[in-house]
A = this chain, B = another copy of it.
Amino acid sequence: MERRRFVTSAALGGAALGAVASVLPKPAIAQGLPEIKWRMASSFPKSLPALFGGADFLCQRVAALTDNRFQIRPFAGGEIVPPLAVLDAVQNGTVELGHSTPYYYVGKDPTFGFGSTMPFGFNERQQMAWMRQGGGLELHNELLKGYNTLGFPAGNTGAQMGGWFRKEIKTPEDLKGLKMRIAGIAGNVLAKLGGVPQQIGGSDIYPALEKGTIDATEWVGPYDDEKLGFYKVAKYYYYPGWWEGNAMIWTNVNRDKWNELPPSYQAALETASYDAYSWVLSKYDTENPLALRRLVANGAQLRPFSREILQAAYKASFEVYDEFAAKNALFKKTYESWKAFRDTEYLWFQVAEHSFESFVYSQRTAEVRAKK
């Protein structure tokens, strides 16, 4: 399936544009196109240079593509809109554009989870393939239409870490009563396993962990986690983040504002989103390994989740999905597309991709050991 354009050139033809352009000043370059200034509300703070940096990169690309006539100013989470209220602000037109991740809104509808990631779901490549060529983008925009917005993928963190724990976790029994800061649908899964999921904003996590108000927290991965200093108060750093094999970031546009854009500005916003996506992902992939080394040097203890824990969480995740699907028609429709695509992707990725990586990583590990 190919992606579709939301608005064709015909929807905003030359006549309409001419009318807009005629009342605007006309400098030497691109004098036929209007000067437009938009505001973008991001869910992310400036202290996350890959995520907020991605918003900044996107706005700069749109400016470059339009000879600075379409100017978007990015605002960090909390500057003009609270981090978790970005979707509402775009929906009601407070800002034209948002920069966020859909699973922040699973309280409105669990179907938002598919736009970011689902526990035991896709890796980054699989998520993007489903979005661009497997029908995911159309399904997510069907959901967004109910909020008078539309969206494009604009970043990804890659697979995240399982987070920071004050004590070692060895069996599913150890999760019972565990108070953990954890986002999105993973919270439902943790609750099914007997844990106590907590929703806590970024800046409040460290003191809660230090005091023992919570026993564990997940955040993103080494690069972002390092900045919040969790290793000082909860030294066990677990992997993998089974609830986030990838996490997709999006630009969300108010539909009325979108429809007012000239087609070339619409194209600029869409294409710059995919460019920013690659920029954000490559930023994480470059910085995470360096940060992981520093964290381990500072005393973080790397621990894999046991197979027993992973299997219990896997079972609980699919039970949660079935429960949502029984109550929510769009969740069910999206889940069925996601699940069928996942089965097919897993078949292929374990042949060439996974066997290549398994060999090169084991070979490299053997080399490092031989040098010691």
Give residues of chain A (258-297) contacting chain B, Cβ–Cβ below 8 Å: 262-264, 267-268, 270-272, 274-275, 277-279, 281-283, 285-286, 288-290, 292-293
Shortest A298–chain B CB gap in Å is: 16
In Å, the complex CA distance between A345 and B354 comes to 15
Question: Is A28 an interface position by the 8 A CB rule?
Answer: yes
Within 8 A of B (CB), among A1-33: 14-15, 17-18, 21, 27-33
Residues in B with CB closer than 8 Å to A32 are: 27-32
Within 8 Å CB of A222, what residues of B? 348
Complex alpha-carbon distance, A307 and B307, angstroms? 26
| CB-defined contacts of A302 to chain B, threshold 8 Å | 351
Using Cβ atoms and an 8 Å threshold, which residues of chain B touch A285?
125-126, 128-129, 133, 345, 348
- The reply to whether the CB of A203 lies closer than 8 angstroms to some CB of chain B is no
- Partner of A123 from the list B270, B290, B292, B356 (CB cut-off 8 Å) is B356
Compute how far the CA of A242 lies from the CA of B363 in the bound complex, rounded to whole angstroms.
13
Check B344–A289 contact: CB distance below 8 A. yes
Interface range for A: 35 or more
Known pairs A129-B282, A132-B283, A158-B353; list 16 more (Cβ under 8 Å): A14-B27, A14-B29, A15-B28, A31-B31, A65-B267, A123-B356, A125-B282, A129-B285, A129-B286, A132-B278, A240-B356, A241-B356, A277-B278, A293-B344, A302-B351, A307-B359
17 pairs of residues in contact across A and B, judged by CB atoms under 8 Å: A30-B30, A30-B264, A31-B32, A61-B267, A64-B263, A64-B267, A65-B65, A65-B264, A123-B356, A123-B357, A132-B279, A158-B353, A159-B353, A161-B352, A239-B356, A270-B275, A274-B275
